[in-house]
Amino acid sequence: MVWPAVGRSAALAGIVALGLAACGPAALRPPLPPPPHPGARGPSVAAIVRTGALRVASDLSDPPLAFREGTAPRGLEIDLAELLAASLGVRLEVRDTPGAILRGGFSGADLMMGAMRKEEVPGPASESYYTLSQGILWGGREAPVRDHPLRNVRVAVQVKSPGETLAGQMGAGPILAVYLPAAALAAVSRGEVQGAVADLPVILDYARTHRGLTVMAGPWAEAPLVVGVRPDGPDLLVFVSAAIRELEHTGGLAQLRQRWHL
Pairing verdict, β 155-158 and 195-199: parallel
Average pLDDT rounded to a whole number, residues 187-195: 95
Does residue 234 have a cis bond before it (omega within 30 degrees)? no
Q: Taking a C-beta distance cutoff of 8 angstroms, is the pair 54, 48 a contact?
A: yes
Which run of H or E residues covers position 249? helix 234-250
- In the prediction, which pLDDT does 143 show? 65
SS3 40: coil
Confidence of residue 207 (pLDDT cuts 50, 70, 90): very high
Confidence of residue 26 (pLDDT cuts 50, 70, 90): low
- In the prediction, which pLDDT does 140 show? 79
For the domain bounded by 133-222, which CATH number is listed? 3.40.190.10
Options 3.40.30.10, 3.40.190.10, 3.40.50.2300, 2.40.50.150; CATH for 41-129+226-259 is 3.40.190.10
Average of per-residue pLDDT values in the chain: 86
Q: What is the pTM of this model?
A: 0.81
SS3 261: coil
Say if residue 187's pLDDT is above 90.
yes
pLDDT digits (tens, 9 = 90+) for 29-79: 889 999 999 987 899 999 999 999 999 999 998 889 999 999 999 999 999
- Give the bridge partners for 69, in sequence order: 72
Say if residue 108's pLDDT is above 90.
no
pLDDT digits (tens, 9 = 90+) for 217-229: 888 889 999 999 9
N- to C-terminal Cα distance for the chain? 10
Query: Strand runs (DSSP E) across the chain, as ranges?
Result: 14-17, 53-58, 61-62, 66-69, 72-74, 91-96, 111-113, 130-138, 155-158, 175-178, 195-199, 214-225, 228-229
Are both 41-129+226-259 and 133-222 of the same fold?
Answer: yes
Q: Hey, how many other C-beta atoms are within 10 angstroms of the C-beta on 132? A: 20
Say if residue 241's pLDDT is above 90.
yes
- Give the bridge partners for 217, in sequence order: 14, 135
d(CA 38, CA 50): 18
Q: Where are the domains of the chain?
A: 41-129+226-259, 133-222
